[in-house]
């Protein structure tokens, strides 16, 4: 089963967006080395100047759960949580089937 994970971050206007982006890129590099990682796309939203979206695909639920609890990943998430302007939208564990090519 393939898992698609969707995250939307909306940060307070005074947040250090350059540092946030640097941390997102570091997490992308870390994710690429994790078991079950397939791909990820991330970037700013088009409708919120302090908003970011991360979409990633994983082999299965256990891989996503393991990724969430990597110490470095947890640390970065905890670092930024106080700067969220609104609650983090975190929809995960959505099974889907890759379309036949």
How does pLDDT run across 26-54, given as a tens digit for each residue? 999 999 999 999 999 999 999 999 999 99
Are the beta carbons of 50 and 10 closer than 8 angstroms?
yes
Over residues 63-92, the pLDDT tens digits come to: 988 999 999 999 999 999 999 998 766 655
95 contacts 1 by C-beta, under 8 angstroms: yes
61, 93 contact by CB (below 8 A): yes
Residue-range domain boundaries for the chain: 2-96
Do residues 9 and 85 lie in contact, with contact meaning Cβ atoms separated by under 8 Å? no
Q: What is the pTM of this model?
A: 0.82
Tokens of 95: 């099974």
Show the DSSP H helices in 8-70 as ranges: 17-32, 61-68
Answer whether CATH 3.30.70.100 is correct for domain 2-96.
Answer: yes
Question: Which residue in this structure is represented by tokens 């089963």?
Answer: 1
Q: How much is the pLDDT for 86?
A: 82
């Amino acid at each position: 089963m393939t898992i698609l994970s969707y995250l939307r971050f909306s940060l307070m206007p005074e947040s250090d967006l350059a540092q946030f982006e640097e941390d997102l890129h570091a997490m992308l590099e870390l994710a690429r080395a994790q078991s079950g990682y397939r791909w990820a796309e991330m970037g700013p939203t088009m409708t919120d100047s302090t908003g970011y979206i991360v979409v990633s695909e994983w082999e299965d639920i256990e891989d996503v759960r393991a990724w969430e609890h990597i110490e470095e990943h947890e640390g970065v998430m905890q670092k930024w949580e106080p700067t969220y302007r609104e609650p983090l939208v975190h929809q995960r564990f959505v099974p889907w089937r890759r379309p036949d090519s």
